[in-house]
């Protein structure tokens, strides 16, 4: 069936900011879809609030709206653009929910817009669990016994027919937020209550638990001729009960007979037909009873998903791209398979390797969070690894996680706990038992510990319910380790070394098991002639020739890398997403690839994150899906060098991951492009850097370094409190803290970090109440420096820059300060011989500009700034790194913006009950949004809205601030009053306001009596909370207020600068309203103003 | 124990013995299905062949008594990348290795099966030998070169049944995990089937559709099948070169003229083609897997099919009264034919799946309807 000719203009909805459960896999899918639509000659209009995406690059769509993803904003865009159709299936749950809203509000009908990819009915059947269950019953497919309830009374009535344990799933929440598993009435009461309040429709599904059953997923596609294919089967190593996003998963399914597998396939086909997904991809989840093969369907997602991104990377079949084409009316047999070229997309990929995905959590950022894994996803990223066997893929995946010593699955010796490993001490067997029986982020380590202690496989199976086949694999890994430890590195036979390497053990890991260093293991291995071969991912298990160098390493006979003699640039990616190192770095890597490919280099990507655009085989000339460890990277470069061409490497784009490899790679003789690793190190080395600034005459806050508590005390005595303390060489403010006294400093030095002479703790004077700024610049080899933008933080210094809202251009910084910052930036860039990107953070306090830190590498703000200015900074810098000058690239002046652009972070607090929402020097946000407008107020309001914060236009504001903040809150309170708000305050704050002539109603603190402020929030009497931390004594009161506000979706602002900005925003909302504008229009303004 | 696989082109691989000790020779082929090794091991169409699984982890779910496709294993040898030490599945009755040893199948594991597949893909399938223990590779290469070629060999006589019998299903349709067949309301239809090496799932599917099947040896004359007045005649799958099966081709010629519904699968399809006047030829590396797209030309629908054949029908050789109904979307080869005047149709692929998708199950229904129209 040929393409539909009635569709000309398509609106694609993106997935918004990166949050837990919805990450950059939707940038990967969305970008593919937009490109596919454009290639088919359609006009693509895109809306996505997330600027850190490739899909919002202005050339991906014809018009790009970086605007909040709400039905009101979408209506404005639809009214303006009049699209023929909306593609809602590549933007995650966010886009599907929006599509449903647009349908229910009659907006689709009003503007005569069609949904393609999935109809409203199909979405509803798949999303509404009741409708889904009925549909399944109708076609004779079993689902777990379940019941919907809308109140606690109904909930209690449902307990008996279902029986404990009961799974509680709130309706219409993302990634299962608010859900859980109740084993008893107490847990049931708590989780059901929470679920009811979190569900936007106040409804939860209570479901029979199939915990412990085997869990499978099928990624399927269907076209409008009813052709149906399974792209990939995925088996969860963690059985039912753990969200698939938190499970270790493997592709293909490994423990099903053909009969069981085909039965599942038959069911999947019937489901997609019944649900009515006419074109596109779906994900269907199944549970299978391991004792009798009984199969039930858990859920179906009528859209591309995290799993479909994984399936695409695992098989080489680009699901989102094909789905977009199917939505246009093509059938599968009309679309060629990119990889084999000669065969069509109407087939089922078959793979001759094993793929393992392992999640990465960020619990270290949320020490109070519950680490139990349930039906609500908690991980922030994942890695995928490919090997010829499960063991190899599994071990490579763990190497890819970059957990430092935590990569090590094994105890150091004889089953003893390795204190430095990322494992909580489990000295006694009962703790180990508990850790095996109750899924948690550390369970896999516990599992290895149990095998090391000689626990029987059956016992571990009984506790974990993990299939015996997987347990056998783990047991074999432990046995291999034991064999190696018995003989030591010297006694290791070529056969054993080969077995270890073929089972995926890294050189470093073998060394650490045997008490040798990585280099010695490598030498022994090379002597035995063992080096990796690279195999191609070709969708067809070598049945046909493949034309796409999409490769993975393994220890096999034949290597298919086939390197070319071209001049090539290897770009090191950023590994798994984590808080502090996320999509922004992948965005930069992708831009480096695009720019250098355009300029005729052969681009080679190394990365292990399946969610990203960088691991799309379309992005680069050659893709190696490999761990970013020295061993793996060096081996790939050596192989590429065998092709004969010059090989150089980009390390400054992938965040800390490649930077950690820069020096070792340079030592190994590999040419690093751009800023030298020594300069990067200089900027990181506190003493060398202080000297440089001193020589330049640029102020820096007093600082020092310490490798012991004693040294730290000395530094503190010299520079005085408050202090910012943090370890060196980390991103995202990991373990960063502000300390106000000696006791806190001691506590920090003793417990929070492990300092060493190579990695000292950095201690800086904390500049309280300073204004903080981020500057991104590009410098070339001639010493030319172009400043991409000066971004002013809304929140004051002390809050991690990644967690601060910021705005370009600055809105309250004096012009002379701006000029001085430009001057400092240029001089620092030149002094560091920066070639490429450089990010600098400044603080202004009492008319002095201090440099906080300099990072001569890609930064988190590069994508946002690129969107605001219309200049792709990462591309420019990549070209500069290979020798072009800024002048050659036409960049002779600092960049400008037309309008005002605000970046606002989004946080995962809602997923971690009990965790405070307060901001500090340790980064906690997972993603960001951008709001653009002509005024600061409007731009800030949009950014807030995009981040899910609905600022009120009227109502009551609760104010409770620390004594320190009281003077400054007066103006804010006055402004709010002027905007017509009622003020409610705690006694202290209210008295202070009254003393300044502002009337405020007094409300009880939580511990003062009832009704207290929490009650007032719950009773919807308060529409906005302004609450700055009050210090340790009232800590719990504060936290309760903030969490209550968050759960009730009442905006809660925790800084005064944030509150002041909110005043601007509310004023703008009340006077200007919100209008929409595409990036292309903003950028066109600039082009006009640049003309002489 | 060590094992070696040597190919006639001089390439050899060293790995581990994964089955019975000893030596075996045959045509080395590869199958890209990710599941169903037990069905493959027991498929008589693999007689004389050493099968390489491209999926690397094999044996994970063990073997089950309900899953064989014939009385026992049929392959000449077996090649896997990684053998599972255990069998993990609720239906499993033993490990793959025990099964191979019990059935005296020589197998090798631990070799670069992808490299081997690439050799077979580019040079074509070739003869090979697996030997366990210490063996001299060059002697094995000589042995491989001395093996008879698949072309021109009649392998059917080695796998067909000795005498006619009525199929008694050993398992209930429930065990098949297959789509429920639309049961006929009236009497059971009677099918006379030629066994050239028939997979049992064909019989199970006929049974599910309410048919009684009497199975005849490959050499039985057509008249013997037609004597009992069956509602339809079926020609099964089987191993080897169809062109040498003169007895089968001549029986098929009789059947085509007999005005009785005739359905053929795989080798049966090739025999019918030859009987209708077409030619067959050997494919470079054959089709063996569970993911081949086949287009039904009349409706334009694509089926994902189970395939296992090394020979194909030459489309240019077909007479006018034979219509091509199905084409392989990978390489455009003929996948299905229908006689325009007689009630005869056949497919190259395997609607009975086992292993593979059930997309083509409708063909059984089609045959049943054809028979019912006349019954």
| DSSP bridge partners of B289 | B307
Query: Mind listing the pLDDT tens digit for each residue in A1025-1066?
Result: 999 876 544 455 678 888 888 878 899 998 999 999 999 999
Note whether B33 contacts A: Cβ–Cβ < 8 A: yes
Note whether B93 contacts A: Cβ–Cβ < 8 A: no
- Residue of B12, B302, B308 to mutate, testing the A interface (most A Cβ within 10 Å of its Cβ): B302
Distances, alpha carbon A1042 to alpha carbons A943, A1037, A1057, B132, in Å: 20, 9, 17, 71
Contacts of A262 in chain B (CB under 8 A): 35, 177-178, 353, 355-358
A594 and A875 Cβ atoms separated by less than 8 Å = yes
Query: Mind listing the pLDDT tens digit for each residue in A1067-1084?
Result: 999 998 899 999 999 999
B113 and B56 Cβ atoms separated by less than 8 Å = yes
Note whether B118 contacts A: Cβ–Cβ < 8 A: yes
Q: Check residue A171 and report its DSSP letter.
A: T
Over residues A566-587, mean pLDDT? 96
Query: Mind listing the pLDDT tens digit for each residue in B120-155?
Result: 999 999 999 999 999 999 999 999 999 998 888 899
Half-sphere exposure of A99 (CA within 13 A, CB side): 32
Over residues A616-635, mean pLDDT? 97
Give the nearest chain A residue to B84 (CA atoms): A469
Nearest-angstrom CA–CA distance, B219 and B195:
9
Nearest-angstrom CA–CA distance, A470 and A255:
9
Cross-chain residue pair A544–B86, CB shorter than 8 Å:
no
Nearest-angstrom CA–CA distance, A702 and A690:
9
Considering only CB atoms, A257 lies closest to which of B35, B117, B302, namely B35
Q: How confident is the model at residue A415 (pLDDT cuts 50, 70, 90)?
A: very low
- Residue A1, min C-alpha distance to chain B (Å): 9
Contacts of A535 in chain B (CB under 8 A): 114
The helix/strand/coil state of B221 is coil
* Other beta carbons within 10 Å of B263: 29
On the question of pLDDT at A720 being above 70, the answer is yes
Nearest-angstrom CA–CA distance, B156 and B45:
9
Considering only CB atoms, A332 lies closest to which of B35, B289, B302, namely B302
Contacts of A257 in chain B (CB under 8 A): 35-36, 38, 61, 64, 67, 89, 91
Q: How confident is the model at residue A796 (pLDDT cuts 50, 70, 90)?
A: confident
- Residue A610, min C-alpha distance to chain B (Å): 22
Determine the pLDDT at residue A421: 40
- Residue A16, min C-alpha distance to chain B (Å): 37
Average pLDDT over chain A reads 92
> A72-76, A401-405, A992-996, B295-299: which has the minimum mean pLDDT?
A401-405
Determine the pLDDT at residue A424: 45
Cross-chain residue pair B34–A252, CB shorter than 8 Å:
yes
A589 and A605 Cβ atoms separated by less than 8 Å = yes
Query: Mind listing the pLDDT tens digit for each residue in A656-670?
Result: 999 999 999 999 999
The helix/strand/coil state of A469 is helix
Q: Of residues A666 and A1007, which shows the higher confidence score?
A: A666
Over residues A411-423, mean pLDDT? 44
Cross-chain residue pair B117–A229, CB shorter than 8 Å:
no
Cross-chain residue pair A388–B81, CB shorter than 8 Å:
yes
Name the range with the highest mean pLDDT among A405-414, A681-690, B10-19: B10-19
Question: CB within 8 A of A64, min separation 6: which ones?
Answer: A46, A48, A56, A57, A58, A1078, A1079, A1080
Nearest-angstrom CA–CA distance, A975 and A936:
16
Q: Check residue A642 and report its DSSP letter.
A: T
Q: How confident is the model at residue A417 (pLDDT cuts 50, 70, 90)?
A: very low
Determine the pLDDT at residue B184: 66
Cross-chain residue pair B54–A350, CB shorter than 8 Å:
yes
Over residues A893-912, mean pLDDT? 94
On the question of pLDDT at A795 being above 60, the answer is yes
At residue B35, φ and ψ (nearest 5 deg) are: -135, 170
CA A448 centroid distance within chain: 28
CA A569 centroid distance within chain: 26
Q: By percentage, how much of chain B surpasses pLDDT 90?
A: 91
Task: Give alpha helix (H) positions in A729-795.
Answer: 742-747
Contacts of B115 in chain A (CB under 8 A): 556-558
Contacts of B117 in chain A (CB under 8 A): 352, 541-543
- Residue of A258, A349, A477 to mutate, testing the B interface (most B Cβ within 10 Å of its Cβ): A258
Over residues A21-35, mean pLDDT? 95
Considering only CB atoms, B114 lies closest to which of A225, A332, A542, namely A542
On the question of pLDDT at A905 being above 50, the answer is yes
What is A293-342 written as a DSSP string?
A: --EEEEEEESS--HHHHHHHHHHS--HHHHHHHHHTT--GGGSB-TTTSS
Over residues A420-449, mean pLDDT? 80
- Residue B239, min C-alpha distance to chain A (Å): 21
Considering only CB atoms, A543 lies closest to which of B56, B85, B121, namely B121
On the question of pLDDT at A758 being above 80, the answer is no
On the question of pLDDT at B21 being above 70, the answer is yes
Task: Give alpha helix (H) positions in A82-128.
Answer: 92-104, 107-110, 120-127
Cross-chain residue pair A262–B61, CB shorter than 8 Å:
no
Cross-chain residue pair B357–A262, CB shorter than 8 Å:
yes
Determine the pLDDT at residue A1033: 44
Cross-chain residue pair A252–B89, CB shorter than 8 Å:
no
Length of chain A: 1092
The first and second tokens of residue A1087, run together, are 């082009």
Determine the pLDDT at residue A762: 87
Query: Mind listing the pLDDT tens digit for each residue in A468-496?
Result: 999 999 999 999 999 999 999 999 999 99
Determine the pLDDT at residue A352: 98
Cross-chain residue pair B114–A535, CB shorter than 8 Å:
yes
Give the nearest chain A residue to B83 (CA atoms): A389
Nearest-angstrom CA–CA distance, A482 and A505:
13
Q: How confident is the model at residue A636 (pLDDT cuts 50, 70, 90)?
A: very high
Determine the pLDDT at residue A496: 96
On the question of pLDDT at A757 being above 80, the answer is no
User: Which single residue is written with the structure tokens 């391991």?
Assistant: A290
- Residue B292, min C-alpha distance to chain A (Å): 6
* Other beta carbons within 10 Å of A371: 17
Cross-chain residue pair B290–A348, CB shorter than 8 Å:
yes
The helix/strand/coil state of B57 is strand
- Residue B223, min C-alpha distance to chain A (Å): 37
On the question of pLDDT at A425 being above 70, the answer is no
Catalytic positions of B, please?
266, 350, 352
- Residue B154, min C-alpha distance to chain A (Å): 27
On the question of pLDDT at A56 being above 80, the answer is yes
Nearest-angstrom CA–CA distance, A446 and A452:
10
> A415-424, A681-690, A820-829, A931-940: which has the minimum mean pLDDT?
A415-424
Determine the pLDDT at residue A473: 98
Cross-chain residue pair B81–A225, CB shorter than 8 Å:
no
Give the nearest chain A residue to B61 (CA atoms): A255
Q: How confident is the model at residue A755 (pLDDT cuts 50, 70, 90)?
A: low
Touching A: B residues 248-307, CB under 8 Å: 289-293, 295, 300-302, 304
Give the nearest chain B residue to A537 (CA atoms): B114
Q: Pick from B346, B342, B375: which is nearest to B360 by CA? A: B346
Distances, alpha carbon A571 to alpha carbons A589, A604, A641, B275, in Å: 7, 6, 15, 61
Determine the pLDDT at residue B183: 67
- Residue of B37, B60, B295 to mutate, testing the A interface (most A Cβ within 10 Å of its Cβ): B60
| DSSP bridge partners of A622 | A604
Q: How confident is the model at residue A367 (pLDDT cuts 50, 70, 90)?
A: confident
Give the nearest chain B residue to A559 (CA atoms): B115
The first and second tokens of residue B124, run together, are 């074509």
On the question of pLDDT at A461 being above 90, the answer is yes
Give the nearest chain B residue to A558 (CA atoms): B115
Nearest-angstrom CA–CA distance, A242 and A181:
10
Tell me whether the omega of the peptide bond preceding residue A165 falls within 30 degrees of 0, making it cis. Answer: yes
A589 and A574 Cβ atoms separated by less than 8 Å = yes
A27 and A53 Cβ atoms separated by less than 8 Å = yes
Q: Of residues A922 and B323, which shows the higher confidence score?
A: B323
Determine the pLDDT at residue A377: 92
Question: CB within 8 A of A1002, min separation 6: which ones?
Answer: A984, A985, A986, A987, A990
Determine the pLDDT at residue A1032: 47
Query: Mind listing the pLDDT tens digit for each residue in A172-200?
Result: 775 567 888 898 999 999 999 989 988 87
Nearest-angstrom CA–CA distance, A520 and A661:
18
- Residue B254, min C-alpha distance to chain A (Å): 37
A707 and A744 Cβ atoms separated by less than 8 Å = no
Distances, alpha carbon B90 to alpha carbons A291, B64, B113, B284, B347, in Å: 6, 9, 29, 39, 34
Measure the N-to-C terminal CA separation of chain B; round to a whole number of Å: 59
Give the nearest chain B residue to A475 (CA atoms): B85
Considering only CB atoms, B35 lies closest to which of A261, A390, A468, namely A261
Is-above-0.90 flag for pTM? yes
Cross-chain residue pair B67–A259, CB shorter than 8 Å:
yes
Q: How confident is the model at residue B315 (pLDDT cuts 50, 70, 90)?
A: very high
Query: Mind listing the pLDDT tens digit for each residue in B205-249?
Result: 999 999 999 999 999 999 999 998 999 999 999 999 999 999 999
Query: How many residue contacts between A and B have a Cβ separation below 8 Å?
Result: 174
* Other beta carbons within 10 Å of A200: 11
∠ CA(B192), CA(B194), CA(B200), 5° rounding?
A: 90
- Residue B285, min C-alpha distance to chain A (Å): 9
On the question of pLDDT at B175 being above 90, the answer is no
On the question of pLDDT at A168 being above 70, the answer is yes
Determine the pLDDT at residue B173: 57
Nearest-angstrom CA–CA distance, A442 and A462:
18
Determine the pLDDT at residue B98: 98
CA A461 centroid distance within chain: 32
Cross-chain residue pair B290–A331, CB shorter than 8 Å:
no
Cross-chain residue pair B358–A468, CB shorter than 8 Å:
no
Note whether B109 contacts A: Cβ–Cβ < 8 A: no
């Amino acid at each position: 069936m040929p393409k539909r000719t009635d569709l000309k203009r398509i609106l694609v909805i993106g997935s918004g900011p990166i949050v837990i459960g919805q990450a950059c896999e939707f940038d990967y899918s969305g970008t593919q879809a937009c490109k596919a639509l454009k290639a088919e000659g359609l006009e693509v209009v895109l809306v996505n609030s997330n600027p850190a995406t490739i899909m919002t690059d202005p050339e991906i769509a014809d018009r790009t709206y970086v605007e909040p993803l709400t039905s009101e904003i979408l209506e404005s865009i639809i009214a303006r653009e009049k699209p023929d159709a909306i593609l809602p299936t590549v933007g995650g749950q966010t886009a599907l929910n929006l599509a449903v809203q647009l349908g229910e509000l009659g907006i689709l009908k009003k503007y005569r817009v069609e949904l393609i990819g999935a109809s409203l009915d199909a979405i509803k059947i798949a999303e509404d669990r009741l409708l889904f269950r009925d549909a399944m019953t109708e076609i004779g497919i079993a689902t777990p016994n379940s019941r919907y309830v809308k109140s606690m009374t109904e909930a209690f009535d449902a307990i008996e027919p279902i029986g404990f344990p009961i799974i509680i799933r709130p309706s219409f929440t993302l990634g299962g937020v608010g859900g859980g598993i109740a084993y008893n009435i107490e847990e049931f009461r708590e989780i059901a209550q929470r679920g009811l309040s979190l569900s936007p429709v106040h409804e939860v599904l209570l479901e029979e638990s199939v915990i412990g059953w085997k869990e499978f997923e099928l990624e399927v596609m269907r076209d409008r001729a009813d052709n149906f294919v399974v792209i990939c089967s995925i088996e969860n190593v963690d059985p039912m009960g753990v969200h698939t996003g938190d499970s270790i998963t493997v592709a293909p399914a490994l423990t099903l007979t053909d009969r069981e597998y085909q039965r599942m396939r038959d069911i999947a086909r019937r489901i997609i037909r019944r649900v009515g997904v006419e074109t596109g991809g779906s994900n269907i989840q199944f549970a299978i009873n391991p004792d009798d093969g009984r199969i039930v369907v858990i859920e179906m997602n009528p859209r591309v998903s995290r799993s479909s991104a994984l399936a695409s990377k695992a098989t080489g079949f680009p699901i989102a791209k094909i789905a977009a084409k199917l939505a246009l009316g093509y059938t599968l047999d009309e679309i060629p398979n990119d990889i084999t070229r000669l065969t069509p997309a109407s087939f089922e990929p078959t793979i001759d390797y094993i793929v393992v995905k392992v999640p990465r959590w960020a619990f270290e950022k949320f020490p109070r969070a519950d680490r139990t894994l349930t039906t609500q996803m908690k991980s922030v990223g994942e890695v995928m690894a490919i090997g010829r066997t499960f063991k190899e893929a599994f071990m490579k995946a763990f190497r890819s996680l970059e957990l430092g010593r935590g990569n090590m699955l094994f105890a150091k010796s004889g089953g003893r706990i390795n204190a430095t490993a990322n494992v909580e001490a489990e000295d006694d067997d009962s703790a180990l038992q508990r850790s095996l029986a109750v899924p948690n982020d550390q369970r896999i380590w516990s599992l290895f510990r149990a095998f090391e202690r000689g626990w029987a496989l059956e016992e571990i199976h009984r506790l974990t319910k993990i299939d015996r086949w997987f347990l056998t694999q783990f047991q074999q890994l432990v046995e291999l380790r034991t064999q190696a430890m018995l003989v030591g590195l010297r006694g290791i036979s070529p056969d054993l070394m080969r077995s270890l390497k073929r089972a995926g053990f890294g050189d470093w890991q073998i060394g650490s098991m045997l008490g040798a260093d990585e280099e010695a293991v490598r030498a022994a291995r090379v002597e035995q002639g063992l080096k990796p071969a690279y195999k191609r991912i070709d969708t067809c298990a070598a049945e046909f020739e493949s034309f796409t160098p999409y490769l993975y390493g393994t220890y096999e006979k034949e290597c298919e890398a086939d390197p070319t003699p071209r001049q090539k640039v290897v770009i090191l990616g950023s590994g798994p997403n984590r808080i502090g190192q996320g999509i922004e770095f992948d965005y930069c890597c992708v831009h480096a690839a695009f720019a250098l490919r355009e300029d005729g280099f052969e681009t080679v990507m190394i990365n292990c994150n399946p969610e990203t655009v960088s691991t799309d085989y379309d992005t680069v000339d050659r893709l190696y899906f490999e761990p970013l460890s020295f061993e793996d990277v060096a081996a790939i470069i050596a192989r590429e060098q065998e092709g004969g061409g010059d090989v150089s490497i980009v390390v400054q784009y992938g965040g800390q991951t490649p930077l950690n490899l820069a020096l070792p790679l340079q030592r190994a003789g590999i040419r690093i492009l751009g800023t030298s690793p020594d300069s990067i190190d200089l900027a990181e080395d506190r003493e060398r850097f202080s000297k440089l600034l001193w020589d330049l005459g640029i102020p820096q806050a007093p600082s020092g370094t310490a490798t012991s508590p004693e040294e730290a005390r000395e530094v503190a005595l010299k520079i005085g409190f408050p202090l910012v303390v943090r370890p060196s060489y980390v991103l995202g403010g990991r373990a960063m803290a502000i300390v106000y006294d000696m006791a806190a400093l001691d506590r920090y030095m003793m417990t929070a970090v492990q300092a060493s002479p190579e990695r000292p703790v950095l201690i800086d004077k904390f500049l309280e109440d300073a204004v903080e700024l981020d500057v991104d610049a590009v410098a070339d080899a001639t010493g030319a420096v172009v400043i991409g933008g000066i971004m002013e933080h809304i929140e004051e210094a002390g809050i991690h820059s990644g967690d601060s809202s910021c705005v370009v251009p600055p809105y309250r910084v004096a012009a002379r300060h701006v000029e001085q910052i430009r001057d400092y930036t240029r001089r620092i860039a030149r002094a560091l011989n920066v070639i490429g990107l450089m990010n600098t953070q400044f603080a202004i306090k009492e008319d002095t500009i201090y440099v906080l830190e300099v990072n001569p590498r890609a930064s988190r703000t590069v994508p946002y700034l690129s969107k605001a200015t219309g200049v792709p900074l990462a591309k420019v810098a990549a070209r500069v790194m290979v020798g072009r000058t800024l002048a050659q690239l036409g960049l002779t002046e600092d960049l400008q913006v037309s309008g005002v652009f605000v970046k606002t972070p989004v946080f995962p607090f809602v997923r971690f009950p009990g965790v405070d929402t307060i901001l500090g020097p340790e980064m906690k946000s997972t993603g960001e949004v951008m709001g653009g407008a002509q005024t600061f107020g409007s731009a800030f309001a949009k950014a807030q809205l995009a981040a899910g914060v609905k600022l009120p236009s009227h109502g009551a504001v609760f104010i409770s601030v620390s004594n320190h903040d009281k003077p400054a809150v007066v103006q804010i309170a006055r402004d709010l009053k002027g905007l017509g708000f009622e003020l409610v305050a705690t006694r202290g704050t209210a008295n202070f306001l009254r003393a300044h002539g502002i009337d405020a109603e007094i409300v009880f603190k939580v511990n003062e009596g009832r009704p207290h402020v929490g009650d007032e929030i719950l009773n919807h009497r308060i529409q906005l909370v302004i609450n700055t931390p009050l210090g340790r004594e009232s800590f719990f009161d504060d936290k309760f207020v903030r969490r209550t506000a968050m759960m009730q979706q009442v905006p809660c602002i925790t800084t005064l600068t944030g509150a002041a900005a909110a005043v601007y925003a509310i004023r703008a909302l009340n006077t200007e309203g919100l209008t929409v504008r595409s990036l292309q229009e903003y950028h066109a303004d600039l082009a006009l103003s640049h003309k002489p | 124990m060590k094992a070696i696989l040597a190919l006639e082109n001089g390439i050899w691989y060293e790995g581990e013995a994964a089955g019975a000790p000893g030596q075996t020779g045959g045509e080395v082929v590869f199958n890209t299905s990710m599941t169903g090794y037990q069905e493959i091991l027991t498929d008589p169409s693999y007689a004389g062949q050493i099968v390489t699984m491209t999926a690397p982890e094999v044996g994970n779910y063990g073997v089950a008594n309900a899953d064989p496709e014939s009385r026992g294993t049929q392959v000449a040898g077996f090649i896997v990348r990684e053998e599972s030490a255990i069998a993990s599945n609720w239906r499993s009755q033993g490990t793959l290795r025990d099964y191979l040893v019990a059935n005296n199948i020589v197998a090798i594991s631990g070799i670069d099966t992808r490299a081997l597949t690439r050799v077979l893909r580019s040079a074509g399938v070739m003869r090979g030998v697996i030997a366990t223990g210490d063996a001299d590779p060059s002697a094995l290469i000589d042995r491989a070169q001395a093996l008879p070629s698949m072309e021109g060999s009649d392998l059917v006589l080695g796998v067909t049944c000795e005498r006619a019998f009525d199929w008694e299903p050993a398992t209930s349709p429930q065990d098949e995990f297959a789509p429920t067949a639309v049961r006929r309301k009236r009497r059971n239809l009677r099918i006379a089937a030629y066994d050239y090496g028939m997979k049992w799932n064909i019989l199970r599917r006929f049974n599910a559709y309410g048919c009684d099947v009497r199975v005849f040896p490959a050499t039985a004359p057509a008249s013997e099948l037609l004597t009992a007045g069956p509602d339809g005649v079926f020609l099964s799958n089987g191993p080897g070169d169809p062109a040498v099966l003169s007895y089968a081709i001549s029986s098929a010629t009789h059947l085509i003229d007999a005005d009785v519904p005739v359905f053929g699968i795989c080798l049966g399809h090739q025999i019918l083609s030859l009987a209708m006047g077409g030619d067959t030829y050997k494919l470079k590396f054959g089709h063996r897997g569970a993911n081949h797209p086949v287009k039904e030309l009349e409706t334009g629908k694509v089926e994902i099919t189970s395939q296992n054949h090394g020979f194909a029908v030459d489309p240019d050789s077909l007479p006018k009264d034979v219509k091509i109904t199905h084409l392989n979307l990978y390489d455009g080869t003929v996948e299905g034919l229908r006689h325009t005047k007689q009630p005869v149709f056949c497919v190259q692929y395997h609607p009975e799946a086992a292993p593979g998708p059930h997309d083509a199950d409708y063909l059984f229904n089609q045959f049943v309807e054809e028979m019912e129209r006349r019954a």
